[in-house]
Amino acid sequence: MMNQISEFEKKFIERLDKLKGLYNEVNNVIILHEYITGEFYLPPIVNFRTFSDLMFFCFKKKDTQKLDIDFQNMEATLNEAGHGTLDSLLSKIIDEIDLITDRFEHEVLERITDNYSEVKLLIKKAKKYVELFINDKKKILNKSFIDSFNEFKEIPKFYDQLINKGHLLNSYQKERDTDKRFSLLNSNIHNLIIGAVSTILTFILINSFAEDILNHLINKNPVDTSPVELNFPIDTNSADTSDFVLLFDSKKDINTLKSRDTVLRLR
Are 160 and 96 in contact by the 8 Å Cβ rule? The answer is: no
What letter would DSSP give residue 105?
A: -
Is the CB of 26 or the CB of 112 nearer to another protein?
Answer: 26
Output the CA–CA distances (angstroms, integers) from residue 196 to 121, 193, 223, 258, in the order listed: 48, 5, 40, 42
Q: Least distance in Å: CB of 172 to another protein?
A: 41
Is the CB of 12 or the CB of 129 nearer to another protein?
Answer: 12
What is the four-CA torsion angle of 46, 49, 55, 59, rounded to 10 degrees?
A: -150
Q: Is 31 exposed, middle or buried (0-12, 13-18, 19+ CB in 10 A)?
A: exposed
Output the CA–CA distances (angstroms, integers) from residue 50 to 53, 67, 69, 182, in the order listed: 5, 16, 15, 63
Is the CB of 60 or the CB of 128 nearer to another protein?
Answer: 60
Is the CB of 30 or the CB of 94 nearer to another protein?
Answer: 30
Is the CB of 49 or the CB of 258 nearer to another protein?
Answer: 49
Q: Least distance in Å: CB of 16 to another protein?
A: 6
* Cα R_g (the chain), whole angstroms: 47
| Residues found near another protein in the complex (CB under 8 A) | 2-3, 5, 9-10, 13, 16-17, 19-20, 23-24, 27, 40, 42, 45-46, 48-49, 51-53, 56, 59-60
Is the CB of 61 or the CB of 103 nearer to another protein?
Answer: 61
Q: Least distance in Å: CB of 80 to another protein?
A: 15
Q: Least distance in Å: CB of 8 to another protein?
A: 10
Q: Least distance in Å: CB of 10 to another protein?
A: 7
Q: Least distance in Å: CB of 14 to another protein?
A: 8
Helices (H), the chain: 7-37, 42-61, 64-101, 106-110, 116-135, 137-141, 145-152, 154-164, 166-220, 241-246, 251-256, 260-266
Is the CB of 5 or the CB of 204 nearer to another protein?
Answer: 5
Q: Least distance in Å: CB of 28 to another protein?
A: 11
The CA distance from 145 to 86, in Å, is 9
